[in-house]
Amino acid sequence: MNVIFFKSHTFCAREIEKALKSRKNIKLIISAIPEKIPAEAAHQVFDQIKSYMPAIVISVNNAGYDYQGTLSDLIASSGSFQCNWFVDDPFYEDIFFNRRLPNLKNRLDFVTEETFVAPMRQKGYNAHFLPLAVDPDYFKADESVDYARDCAFVGNSSIDFMDSIITADAQQELQNHAELLNTIKKKYYNDPYSFDIKKYLLSNQSLWSKNSITDAEKFLFRIEWLVGYFYRRDFIVEIAKKLETRFTCFGDIYWSKLINKSLVSTDACYYTNLCSYYRSTRVNINMNRIQIKTSFTQRIFDCKACGAFILTEKRAQNDRFFITKGNKKELAEFSSWPECLELIDYYCEHEEEREAIAKAGMKKVLAEHTYDRRMERIFELCKKEWGL
């Protein structure tokens, strides 16, 4: 069977390409393509790949497609099959760029956060939950590394993204709802693991729908992301204040506007030195962005694959995929900021327990959570749905 992969600069495209190349029973065609193409270029792209059709066309975050759905229609009309893996919010481009619903004939969509599955299916998607994974060639415990710090967080500040969605008009709209925003912020800070911001807003539309909202979907998206941004930002800032020189934040330069710049490093590079930074940290902290309500960030799999220890927020999927309790624990979790600080100190002091959890987690991830295994799952569903 021919498999066409739309290769772009999208996150994890490199790992997926590598996993596809390792499969023996397919003929792989790599189509290097921009993340988004104009509708008028769709026919040109299709002409470049149509000789390989019918085929399974694989993409990440719909990279390679136009917003109007022209290329999706052309691929569907050729008798081909489409598989797309959303590794971010699947509705973001619908809301902010008016992306048309793609041609859903012979199409499977996967998403890394399970709570998106139901609303995607309501829109007509044949949607399935598929968590992120790791490529162990980039994250491996192949040599000894000395500890350089007690605690670290790896992640961008999200300021660039927030600036992109909160325009001047949106700022005014949010200012008009400052009281509502503060109420939601307090509720979320008190219970970040079960308080659903969007559900609360939809259940209390009298608090906002009668006011000057130009676009309800954008308003809901912005409120949710803004509160989630505040919570993640404040959490890391407080950890930095408490731990001081015991802590390093590996991220973008904007973090230095929020915490002591001596605690910020912009040096981490995903494919070169990030693995060594994880491994030289006693306790790596995982904080999810707001769209990851139940599932995992990339940090979980990367840290575990290289034998590093990670302390993560409590999430519904933690218990489903890892042992989180008892003497065979594979993943350590916290449910509040005070507990996080307490556990950082605890695991720094209890080295044997920390390393046992890291070792057990590494074994689990390398056995079950690689991109090779994720591609197996995609092709299993292709066989189930289409007999391919």
pLDDT tens digit sequence for 180-234:
999 999 999 999 988 999 999 999 998 887 666 889 999 999 999 999 999 999 9
Rg (CA), the chain: 22
Work out the average pLDDT over 80-97.
96
Q: What is the 8-class DSSP label of residue 247?
A: E
The whole-number pLDDT of residue 211 equals: 65
Distances in whole angstroms, Cα of residue 328 to Cα of each of 132, 219, 279, 367 = 23, 44, 21, 16
239 pLDDT higher than 70? yes
pLDDT band per the 50, 70, 90 thresholds, residue 338:
very high
The whole-number pLDDT of residue 212 equals: 65
209 with 109, same domain? no
How much of the chain, in percent, has pLDDT values that exceed 90? 89
Q: From CA 307, how far away is CA 290, in angstroms rounded?
A: 27
81 with 178, same domain? no
The whole-number pLDDT of residue 243 equals: 98
User: For residue 4, what are the contacts with CB-CB under 8 A and spacing of at least 6?
Assistant: 29, 31, 49, 52, 55, 56, 57, 58
109 with 182, same domain? no
Listed in sequence order, the DSSP H helices in 105-196 are 117-122, 159-165, 168-176, 178-190
The whole-number pLDDT of residue 210 equals: 65
Work out the average pLDDT over 369-380.
98
86 with 58, same domain? yes
Q: From CA 209, how far away is CA 362, in angstroms rounded?
A: 48
198 with 318, same domain? yes
The whole-number pLDDT of residue 142 equals: 86
The whole-number pLDDT of residue 34 equals: 86
Distances in whole angstroms, Cα of residue 315 to Cα of each of 113, 239, 297, 352 = 11, 20, 11, 25
User: What angle separates helix 351-368 from helix 298-305, to the nearest 10 degrees?
Assistant: 110
Work out the average pLDDT over 293-297.
93
250 with 342, same domain? yes
DSSP 60-125: ETTTTB-TT-HHHHHHHHTT-EEEEEESS-TTHHHHHH-PPPPP-TTEEEEESSGGGHHHHHHTT-
Q: Which residues of 308-345 are buried (b: 16+ CB within 10 A; e: fewer)?
A: bbbbbbebebbeebbbbeeeebbbbbbeebeebbebbe
- The SS3 assignment for 314 reads coil
pLDDT band per the 50, 70, 90 thresholds, residue 10:
confident
241 with 96, same domain? no
The whole-number pLDDT of residue 209 equals: 77
pLDDT band per the 50, 70, 90 thresholds, residue 275:
very high
Is residue 341 a part of any domain in this protein?
A: yes
Is residue 144 a part of any domain in this protein?
A: no
Is residue 122 a part of any domain in this protein?
A: yes
pLDDT band per the 50, 70, 90 thresholds, residue 12:
very high
pLDDT band per the 50, 70, 90 thresholds, residue 285:
very high
Q: What is the 8-class DSSP label of residue 257?
A: G
pLDDT band per the 50, 70, 90 thresholds, residue 388:
confident
The whole-number pLDDT of residue 124 equals: 95
| Domain encompassing residue 163 | 149-368
107 with 231, same domain? no
Tens-digit pLDDT profile for residues 152-163: 999 999 999 999
Q: From CA 34, how far away is CA 44, in angstroms rounded?
A: 13
Tens-digit pLDDT profile for residues 166-176: 998 899 999 99
Is residue 361 a part of any domain in this protein?
A: yes
The whole-number pLDDT of residue 143 equals: 84
Work out the average pLDDT over 290-303.
94
Is residue 271 a part of any domain in this protein?
A: yes
239 with 283, same domain? yes
**For position 44, which CATH number holds?**
3.40.50
Q: What predicted TM-score, i.e. pTM, was given to this entire model?
A: 0.95
Distances in whole angstroms, Cα of residue 270 to Cα of each of 111, 136, 179, 276, 377 = 22, 13, 40, 10, 25
User: What angle separates helix 337-349 from helix 216-243, to the nearest 10 degrees?
Assistant: 40
99 with 225, same domain? no
Work out the average pLDDT over 356-382.
98
323 pLDDT higher than 90? yes
Is residue 92 a part of any domain in this protein?
A: yes
Tens-digit pLDDT profile for residues 115-147: 999 999 999 999 999 999 999 999 999 888 999
The tally of domains found in the chain comes to 2
Least Cα distance to 15 among 72, 75, 85, 65 occurs for: 85
Is residue 143 a part of any domain in this protein?
A: no
319 pLDDT higher than 80? yes
193 with 208, same domain? yes
Residue 56 and residue 80 in contact, taking contact as beta carbons nearer than 8 Å:
yes
Is residue 141 a part of any domain in this protein?
A: no
120 with 24, same domain? yes
**3-class secondary structure for 196-227?**
CHHHHHHHCHHHCCCCCCCCHHHHHHHHHHHH
The whole-number pLDDT of residue 283 equals: 99
